[in-house]
Every structure is written in structure tokens, then in C-alpha cells.
A and B are shown apart, each in its own frame.
Chain A
Amino acid sequence: MDADRVTALPNPLSLVPSQAAPWREEEATHSMRSLAYFIGTFVVALMLGIGSAWYMIERGSPLTTTKVGPWDGWVSEGNPSADPYTEAHVARSGRLPLSSTVARYFVARTDSAGHTLTSACQYSIVGSPLNARWWSLAVYDEYGGLIENPSARYSFNNEELLRHADGSYRVNLSSKARPENWLPSGTVDQPLVLLLRVYSPRETDGSGIGLIPGDRLPKIERTGCE
């Protein structure tokens, strides 16, 4: 009884090849190809979807960030009305940034020429004063950790920087001691991240977000590599 029912099922895969009409065989390879296409499409879609989401959350996009030279600033960081990308960025970062109406943060992973910042090279960071109550330039490893160095110097803020007569400054980012403002990049060969935090900018845009003109952000020039 059971055996009768099995043979009665119109299952093309159970047909022996001699019984299969040529068009049926073609249909079988056709559906196999469809399945492969479908799986392939799904895998590509998964990579595209996750990859684009990761990139836009981690590094930003024109929707969420302003890019001036090497500096990326998230326009709505910490803001309660921030877009989902910015919210995801903040949650993932593990930081508690002040709302962009109170402070602005600018991150650089490359020098002004676009080369990745690394402790194997020396950099000259030249800038002018910012119109804010307090600001500070700090260097981190790629995970946001401070870098061990003998002088325990991890940042320069507006009160500490040695300045030129016109108020401009130069910070020397390098592993070996330099004159002027030496920001040590440590002895471990690794990529670096610079963070410029600007608390209470005095100028704001129409929506109250702190405004730092792009030309006020420091230039990062590579002066040599080991």
C-alpha cells in the first residue's frame, strides 16, 4: 500500500534517467540553477547589506558626517533627534559624546594627503585657535586606547599648547621626542587615530549645532617615516 503511494507520487527526481523526457532533465538543471542563483543572490545581498551598514555606521557618509580634509565630524552625534546611523555609531563606539549642540568631535585616521596615520611616521599638525571655550587634540590607537609613552603625554588642549605669536600652533606627532609640542605616538608600530574635541563652540548653525569652519581644523602633514 505504502509502496504503491510512493511510486504514484509524480516526483521528477525519483524518475530513472531512461524514463525522463529530455525536457524534464532540462527543467531539473534549470531549477538547480535557479536555486544556485537564489543562494548566490542572498549571500551577495547579505554582504552588501551588512557591509554598507557597517561602513556607514563606522566611518560615516555624506548623510551623517562632514568631511574636511582628513577630519570627519558626525553632525548629530549624541543628539536625541539623531538619525539611525548616528545612533548606531554612538552605541557601537562605546563612547558618551556630548550632543553636537554642546560640543563637536572631529576624527582623523589619515594625514591631509590621505595616507593612514601610523606610528611609523612623523607628522606635523599645524592649526589655528578655535572659537570655543575649551578644545583638545588627543591621539589614540585604532581601538580608541591611549598610547603608552614615557612622558605620559596623551593630548594637548588650548591651555597647554605652546603657540606662535599669531596664536597658531604646531604639534609634532612622532614616536621619538621632538621640540615644541611633542605628542608621542608610542613605540608599537600601529595605525593611529587623532581626535579633536571642541567643547562649547561659540558659533552655531541654524539648528544650534556647533559650527567649526573647515579651514580652522589643523592640517596634518607627514614629515618622514622610519
Chain B
Amino acid sequence: MRVRIPGLYIVLGLVLAGLIHIIAVLTLPMLAPRNAHARLAALGPANTMIELPAAAPGRQAMPMMAPDVRYAFCRFDLANGPIRLRAAIADELWLIALYTPEGENFYTVAGADMKRPQLDLIIAATDQTVEEAGVDAPESSDEVLVVNAPVTEGIALIRAPLAGPSRAARAEHALKDTSCGPYTKG
């Protein structure tokens, strides 16, 4: 009797531990209050390009930011229509990445992949249509990029990696010229 009972409890304990493990893993992304989206939302309004100051001790919007990358972000909200992001890509190292609030990087375009240095990117929800010259014609699709976002809220993050310390000022200046706002035709 005394031998049989602990055996039963070990099985019960393992099954319970497994269930708790699964629940913890699946609910954690929703329960992480200090995720990147929450940190960036505290820095300013949606649908505006915000340049992050160069990462330095005690001055980091997110943990483990690259000290040799300059960042600008736009927290997009597609509730009132698509969002247009424009940037003059100053460097082929630039990376423009779109994220869901949970941090899934669902779209990325690199400066090196662009046919011309002017980025014109429209972020639309799956149920929003964008009528833009060149969008439907694949041969001129390098004019305007249209991305169907799987979410109505998210983050567009521009990374400007520095090829050397002397490039910082130029990258910061170029990031100031990027814009993000409600989509208007043309």
C-alpha cells in the first residue's frame, strides 16, 4: 500500500507538471508586460516615425540594442486605413522590418535588395485595398511596395547599421528624413 501510493502520485505529478509547463509556455507571450511593443508604445504616438537615440548605458529603449546601429520606428495602427512609410535608403546595409506586437518579423526588405534608393512602402490590413499606380503591374513593382499585414497593429523598425563610427552622424541625419503616416494616394 505504502509503495503503491507514491507511484501513482509521481505519475499524477508528471502529468500535472506537463500541463502547467504547456500553459505557461503558451500564455507567456500574452502575459509579458515588458515586450518590445509595450516599450516602444511608451515613447510616442502611433503612425509617426520616431528616431531612437543612439543606445548608451542607461539609455536603451529595448534590452540588447546594438550600439553600432541607429534605429527609427513607426508603431502602425491600420484601424483608419493603410499606412505609408517613405525613406531615402542611405546605405545598402539598411534593413526595414515589420513586426507583429508579439515580435514576429513578418516582412523585411534590405537596402541592398532595393532597385532604387527611395523606399515607398504601404502597409495595409488584409481587408484593405490599395489602388496605386504600379502596384498591379509586376514589372514596375519596384515603385511602390505593398505589404499585407497579418495584424492591424504592429511596428515598422528601420535599422541603419554603421559601417564605421564616423558614419553615425550621416545615418542619424538620413533617419530624420524617413516618414510614416496615413496613406494618401499619389
Chain A contacts to B: CB under 8 angstroms: 33-34, 37-38, 40-42, 44-46, 48-50, 52-54, 56-57, 78-80, 82, 84-85, 87-88, 90-99, 101-103, 133-134, 136, 138, 140, 143-148, 152, 154-155, 157, 159-160, 193, 195, 197, 199-200
Interface of B is mostly: mixed
In the complex, what residue of chain B is closest to A139 when comparing beta carbons? B67
Q: Is B12 an interface residue (CB 8 A)?
A: yes
When distances are taken between beta carbons in the complex, the residues of chain B under 8 Å from A44 are 13, 17
Q: Is B35 an interface residue (CB 8 A)?
A: yes
In the complex, what residue of chain A is closest to B21 when comparing beta carbons? A49
Query: Would you call A94 and B36 a contact (CB within 8 A)?
Result: yes
When distances are taken between beta carbons in the complex, the residues of chain A under 8 Å from B105 are 78-80, 96-99, 102
Q: Is B147 an interface residue (CB 8 A)?
A: no
Query: Would you call A45 and B20 a contact (CB within 8 A)?
Result: yes
When distances are taken between beta carbons in the complex, the residues of chain A under 8 Å from B165 are 160
Query: Would you call A88 and B28 a contact (CB within 8 A)?
Result: yes
Q: Is B82 an interface residue (CB 8 A)?
A: no
Pick the residue among B6, B23, B112 that contacts A133 (CB under 8 A).
B112
When distances are taken between beta carbons in the complex, the residues of chain A under 8 Å from B106 are 80
Query: Would you call A78 and B17 a contact (CB within 8 A)?
Result: no
Pick the residue among B55, B63, B67, B68 that contacts A93 (CB under 8 A).
B63
Query: Would you call A48 and B110 a contact (CB within 8 A)?
Result: no
Q: Is B88 an interface residue (CB 8 A)?
A: no
Given contact pairs A79-B104, A98-B97, A102-B95, enumerate 9 new A-B contacts (beta carbons under 8 Å). A40-B9, A52-B17, A57-B25, A80-B100, A88-B28, A90-B35, A136-B161, A146-B57, A160-B68
When distances are taken between beta carbons in the complex, the residues of chain A under 8 Å from B14 are 45, 48
Query: Would you call A155 and B68 a contact (CB within 8 A)?
Result: yes
Chain B contacts to A: CB under 8 angstroms: 5-6, 9, 12-14, 16-21, 23-26, 28-29, 32, 34-36, 39, 55-58, 60, 62-69, 92-93, 95, 97, 99-100, 102-106, 108, 110, 112, 150, 155, 157, 159, 161-165
Pick the residue among B64, B68, B110, B163 that contacts A102 (CB under 8 A).
B110
- Assess A145 versus B28: contact at CB under 8 Å? Given A102-B105, A154-B67, A155-B68: no
- Assess A82 versus B104: contact at CB under 8 Å? Given A41-B9, A102-B95, A199-B93: yes
- B166, chain A: closest CB distance, angstroms: 10
Query: Would you call B161 and A45 a contact (CB within 8 A)?
Result: no
Query: Would you call A95 and B161 a contact (CB within 8 A)?
Result: no
- Assess A197 versus B66: contact at CB under 8 Å? Given A49-B20, A146-B55: yes
- B93, chain A: closest CB distance, angstroms: 5
- B37, chain A: closest CB distance, angstroms: 8
